[in-house]
Structure 1
Amino acid sequence: MIKFQNTQTNNYLPLQPEFEILTDYYLEHKERNKHNQSTILFYQFKMKKDMINVITVIPDGCIDILFCCNEKAPFANVCGSVLQTKTINLHADNEYFGVRFMPNQETHKMNYSMKEIIDQEVPLLDMISIDFMIVERLISERDFFGKINLFNETIRKFIFDTDSSSKVIEYALHNIYLNRGNITMIQLAKEIGYSTRYLRKQFEEHVGISPKLFSKIVRFQSSISMLLKVNHCTLKDVIMENGYYDQAHLINDFKNFGYMTPNKFTEKFSARTTYSTL
């Protein structure tokens, strides 16, 4: 069994392209935990006035807390990662504030397990025991960084306990991110020094899905990121960087997650990145 050492930070951070592109505006801000490892992404966007209230979300392996900042009809939901692309209903001309966090940000204070919220939306107040007035304060705050500060001061402590993170999962995730998801469970188990059965059990508890499926999501997200953010990126580049056997293998991955083909994705989004990172 290996002796775990502090892993270097990784740059993997999943995207939800339609949040970023098919909205009036999009802002984001990234923070790392006190060990400078896991990332929390804060983001804010406003739906367009002429939107049909529908936006597409894709698998990302993360958990989001989404706040609707409409003071007349506010809500705050915890959203588990979807396993296939699906549409969600949001209100036109409304502002939304979100918090996206990676697996292994310990959430033992939540009333649901990670597995129970996969592909589900659960009201925040059902997940953690806080006063709705805290949520109302955050929703009423107009400034993006004001919302972030309020979340960190009032809600964060009810969700995260970074002192109790699983070193097994931490090291496994680091290896998956490092390899862009292109790693087998046998390779991963050998690298960590545990059996594939134990690794699968740990992933179910801390991530909610199997390490094999999580790795596929990471590779899918890595491909999306390259197509969207790397200038002059070709499908050949994506195939080589992410360990796909050929173009058919890449297309099959996109289809398995219920998404459009890589070519259609590039046509739809490649020239439309308009968000701001703060």
Structure 2
Amino acid sequence: MKVLEAKNRIIDAKPFQLFTHDGRVSNYQEDLVIWSKEHLKTEALIYQFEVQETIEAEYLPDACVNLLFEIRSTGVIGKFLGISTKARKIVIEPGVLYFGIKPYTNVGLRCIEQNQSNFVDQVVALSDQFSNTEAFLDELAYTLTFQERRELLKRHRAVFLDETQRSVLAEYLSVLLCTETTALSMEKIERETGYSKRYTQRVFQKKIGVSPKLYSRIIRFQNAIKAVYFDDHSTLAKVACQLGYYDQAHLIHEFQLFTQTSPTKLLQTIQTKKVVV
């Protein structure tokens, strides 16, 4: 495997969620930080936001896990969100500051349960899967700024991350799937990694949580929604061609499978004048 080459690849895999672009969300801040110097995916996205009214938002499929902290007047609630393979409704409450980190790889996380497939589409209490979180949660309750929270999380990184815990095969393949613009066949993956399809799928599913094929589909879905949201000149046909879908109908079919709605209707769920044709 071309591990050194993979480490130097630029991964434009910043996940996209519609609710972060909703006009009812306030105090949204984010920052890309170096989370692990040892893994092939070194970065993580740290973010925070609040709302002024209760919002029932659409949480989109996401190939990353989340550590999410709800900072309330009564204390801090920590949650671990596994990879999401389907859209679901989430309720965002006023009077709560939401602060979180989205590592670009879940390899190395100090979860008590090491099989990441058990967390897919699940939300579990942070304390159920990470030990010694009390000091971090106590300090987090008294932070005043985004910068303080970011630095606190970096100081307590060892509570959540073991940089010596590696899976080069899973890491390499996740980089490959993130940086390829089109879908990869298992035959090509077998050639790239030097391992059998069956072995590769087993390792990847345990360490990442889902199969390589599903992971690739979620990444393409994320890239598609970013393209149609941010590029005013994009059409579904153009995006489908760029990302290796068979045609526009195939892209729409994938959107419907992941979200139970069309791309146009999905984007209309937030306050936007975006029109997709």
Corresponding residue for residue 16 of structure 2: 15
SS in 2 for 1:5: helix
Corresponding residue for residue 4 of structure 2: 5
Q: Which AA in structure 2 matches 1:186?
A: E
Partners of 2:100 and 2:117 lie apart in 1 by 21
Q: Which stretch shows the higher mean deviation, 240-249 or 82-91?
A: 82-91
Displacement of 1:271: 4.3
Partners of 1:18 and 1:177 lie apart in 2 by 23
Corresponding residue for residue 161 of structure 2: 160
Displacement of 1:266: 4.0
Corresponding residue for residue 42 of structure 2: 38
Deviations 1:6-62 (A, max 9, x none): 41231112112213425123111011332573320000010222x34x222111111
Partners of 1:180 and 1:270 lie apart in 2 by 29
Partners of 2:58 and 2:89 lie apart in 1 by 4
Corresponding residue for residue 144 of structure 1: 146
Corresponding residue for residue 259 of structure 2: 258
1:221 to 2:222 alignment: yes
Corresponding residue for residue 238 of structure 1: 239
Corresponding residue for residue 248 of structure 1: 249
- Length-normalised TM-score, structure 2: 0.88
SS in 2 for 1:81: coil
Percent of pairs with identical residues: 27
Corresponding residue for residue 205 of structure 1: 206
**Conserved in 1, the CA contact under 8 Å of 2:62 and 2:218?**
yes
User: Quick one: structure 1 residues 131 and 213, their matched pair in 2 at CA, closer, same or farther if it must change by over 3 Å?
Assistant: closer
Q: Which AA in structure 1 matches 2:145?
A: D
**Conserved in 1, the CA contact under 8 Å of 2:107 and 2:171?**
no
Displacement of 1:4: 3.3
Corresponding residue for residue 88 of structure 2: 86
User: Quick one: structure 1 residues 120 and 48, their matched pair in 2 at CA, closer, same or farther if it must change by over 3 Å?
Assistant: same
**Conserved in 2, the CA contact under 8 Å of 1:9 and 1:37?**
no
Unaligned runs of 5+ in 1: 274-278
1:132 to 2:123 alignment: no
SS in 2 for 1:61: coil
Partners of 2:223 and 2:133 lie apart in 1 by 38
Displacement of 1:131: 4.4
Q: Which AA in structure 2 matches 1:66?
A: L
1:173 to 2:174 alignment: yes
Partners of 1:196 and 1:227 lie apart in 2 by 33
Partners of 1:245 and 1:208 lie apart in 2 by 27
Q: Which stretch shows the higher mean deviation, 264-273 or 162-171?
A: 264-273
Deviations 1:212-248 (A, max 9, x none): 1111101101101111223422212211111111111
SS in 2 for 1:187: helix
Q: Which AA in structure 1 matches 2:122?
A: Q
Partners of 2:273 and 2:20 lie apart in 1 by 12
Q: Which stretch shows the higher mean deviation, 13-22 or 248-257?
A: 13-22
Corresponding residue for residue 65 of structure 2: 63
User: Quick one: structure 1 residues 81 and 131, their matched pair in 2 at CA, closer, same or farther if it must change by over 3 Å?
Assistant: closer
Unaligned runs of 5+ in 2: none
Aligned-residue CA RMSD (Å): 2.2
Matched pairs, number: 268
Q: Which AA in structure 1 matches 2:229?
A: L
Q: Which AA in structure 1 matches 2:206?
A: E
Question: Residue 47 of structure 1: which of 43, 48, 51 is its match?
Answer: 51
Q: Which stretch shows the higher mean deviation, 174-183 or 214-223?
A: 174-183
Q: Which stretch shows the higher mean deviation, 28-37 or 78-87?
A: 28-37
Deviations 1:150-192 (A, max 9, x none): 11112x1022123332221222112111113521222212121
